[in-house]
Amino acid sequence: MADQFVPVLRWEERPEGPVLVLLDQTRLPVEEVELVCTDVPALVAAIRALSVRGAPLLGIAGAYGVALAAARGFDVADAAEQLAHARPTAVNLAYGVRRAEAAYRLALDAGTGDASAAAAALTEARLVHREDAEASARMSELGRELLDELLPGGRLRILTHCNTGALVSGGQGTALGVVRAVHQAGELRRLWVDETRPLLQGARLTAYEAARDGMAYSLLADNAAGSLFAAGEVDAVLIGADRIAADGSVANKVGSYPLAVLARHHRVPFIVVAPVTTVDMSTESGAEIEVEQRPGFEVTEIASPYHSDTRGEAGAGLTEQSGAGIPIAPVGAQAYNPAFDITPAELVTAIVTERGVISPVTRENVSGLCSTSRKGTSRSGDGMMNP
C-alpha cells in the first residue's frame, strides 16, 4: 500500500479560528496543493470548481461546512442552504449538510448555547466522516467477495470510470476501494482507467491513485472502451454513483450509461459501488434526478494541471473560468456538457453498499437497503450470473 495521501480533507483549529483544509483535486496529479477554507463561500466555490468532489466526500465536506459556519458565528441556516445547493446531483451533499444542521439545531433548541451547538455540529460532521470511512471498508470487502463469486479464481481485468477512490471518501473509496481490495489480494490483472472527459478525473485522479498503489493499470480514451469489450478484455465494470433513485436508476459521471449498454451487450457484470447515503428514496425514478449541466468551456477548451498557463489566473483550478484552457473548438462553439448520466436499473448487475449487495436491482431491493431492519444481502434469481 502506498504511503498515504496528503489528507483529502481535514478540520484544523487555528489561533484565528477553525478552518477546513482541502487537498485541491484540480491541481492533481502534478501538485498536492491545499486550500484553506475559512468560510462557507470559499467552500462552496471549492465544491463548484471540483477542488473537493465525489459524492461521499461532498457529504463530509458539507457537514464540516455547517460546523465551520456555526463555529465562526455565520448564519447557519443560510450556510446550510448555500452548501446543500452547491451541486445538484450528488444526494450525499445535502445529506451531510442536513445531518450537521440538525445536530446544531437540536443543541440550540436544548438551550445549550451557541458554542455548544457549534460543537454538536462538529461532532456530527466527524461522525459522518467516520461512518463513511467504515462504509468504504465494508464495501471493499463485499465488493471483492461479489467478484470472487461472479468470476471465481480469476485474475481480473476491471474497467472503471471517473474517480472513486480515496479522493472521494472518508476511507479508501467506493468502486476503486473494491479494486484496491482485489489488488491487495493479488487478484487484479489489469485496471482499465477511462480518462473521463472533459474534466479527466480518470486520467488525473484514478491513474494517480492506481500508480501510488502499484496497480497494473492502463489509461484509455473513453471512446476506446468499446474495443476493449469487443476484444474480450473486460471481466467487470465497477463505477460509483452520485444518486440512486428508488427505482434503482443510477446517476453517475457522464459516460457511465454507454458503459452499461456495452457491458450488457457483451455480458459483462456492471457493478455500482456506493454507500447507502447515495440512495434517495424521495426521488422516484432516474427521470427525476437533476443532472448538473456544467460550463461549455470545459468541453471547448483543454486545461491541464501540467500546464500552469491552462489553470487560469493565480494557478486556479482547472474549471475556474473560460479562457483558462487551450481552445480545441472554434471560438464561440456551443457545447453540451452534462456532468452525469442516468443508467436504468435493468442494466445494473448489482449495487454494492456497506449494508449488503442487491441484485437484481429492483425497487424492493433498493428500498430494503434503507430499511432499519435490513439483514445483509438481498439477491434473488440468477441476476448475478446473467450480467
Ligand X SMILES: CSC[C@H]1O[C@H](OP(=O)(O)O)[C@H](O)[C@@H]1O
Question: Where is the binding site for substrate, in residues?
Answer: 53-55, 87, 201, 252-253
Cβ contact 15:308 at 8 Å: no
Stretch near ligand X under the rule CB under 6 A, chosen from 50-58, 121-129, 136-144, 295-303: 50-58
* Closest to 55 in 3D by CA, of 312, 303, 279: 279
In the complex with ligand X, the residue whose CB is nearer, 104 or 163, is 163
DSSP reduced 3-state for 202: helix
CB of 256 to ligand X, least distance (A): 7
Nine cell digits for residue 64: 464540516
3-state helix, strand, coil in the chain (%, to 5): 40, 20, 40
Q: Is 54 in the site for ligand X (CB under 6 A)?
A: yes
Across-strand partners of 356?
A: 353
CB of 160 to ligand X, least distance (A): 9
The size of the interface with ligand X (CB under 6 A), counted in residues, is 16
Residues marked as catalytic: 242
Q: Is 319 in the site for ligand X (CB under 6 A)?
A: no
How many whole angstroms separate alpha carbon 1 and alpha carbon 88? Answer: 34
In the complex with ligand X, the residue whose CB is nearer, 53 or 99, is 53
One residue of 53, 99, 129, 144 binding ligand X per CB under 6 A: 53
One residue of 51, 82, 136, 174 binding ligand X per CB under 6 A: 174
* Closest to 349 in 3D by CA, of 283, 271, 296: 271
CB of 352 to ligand X, least distance (A): 11
Cell numbers 437533476 label which residue?
Answer: 290
Cβ contact 93:84 at 8 Å: yes
Q: Is the dihedral of CA 172, 175, 176, 182 positive or negative?
A: positive
Q: Is the dihedral of CA 137, 138, 143, 145 positive or negative?
A: positive
In the complex with ligand X, the residue whose CB is nearer, 60 or 339, is 339
Across-strand partners of 182?
A: none
In the complex with ligand X, the residue whose CB is nearer, 59 or 387, is 59
In the complex with ligand X, the residue whose CB is nearer, 104 or 192, is 192
b/e sequence 18-32, b meaning 16+ C-beta within 10 Å: bbbbbbbbbbbbeee
Q: Is 242 in the site for ligand X (CB under 6 A)?
A: yes
In the complex with ligand X, the residue whose CB is nearer, 120 or 167, is 167
Q: Is 279 in the site for ligand X (CB under 6 A)?
A: no
CB of 280 to ligand X, least distance (A): 14
Q: Is 252 in the site for ligand X (CB under 6 A)?
A: yes
In the range 183-202, which residues lie near ligand X by CB under 6 A?
201
Q: Is 172 in the site for ligand X (CB under 6 A)?
A: no
Q: In what order do the strands lie in the sheet with 340-343?
A: 279-280, 243-245, 250-253, 340-343
C-alpha R_g of the chain: 20
Q: Is 144 in the site for ligand X (CB under 6 A)?
A: no
* Helix or strand holding residue 359 (H, E): strand 356-359
CB of 16 to ligand X, least distance (A): 30
Stretch near ligand X under the rule CB under 6 A, chosen from 47-55, 133-141, 187-195, 364-372: 47-55
One residue of 339, 352, 361, 369 binding ligand X per CB under 6 A: 339
DSSP reduced 3-state for 261: helix
One residue of 168, 178, 245, 260 binding ligand X per CB under 6 A: 168
Interface positions with ligand X (CB under 6 A): 50, 53-56, 162, 164, 168, 174, 201, 239-240, 242, 252-253, 339
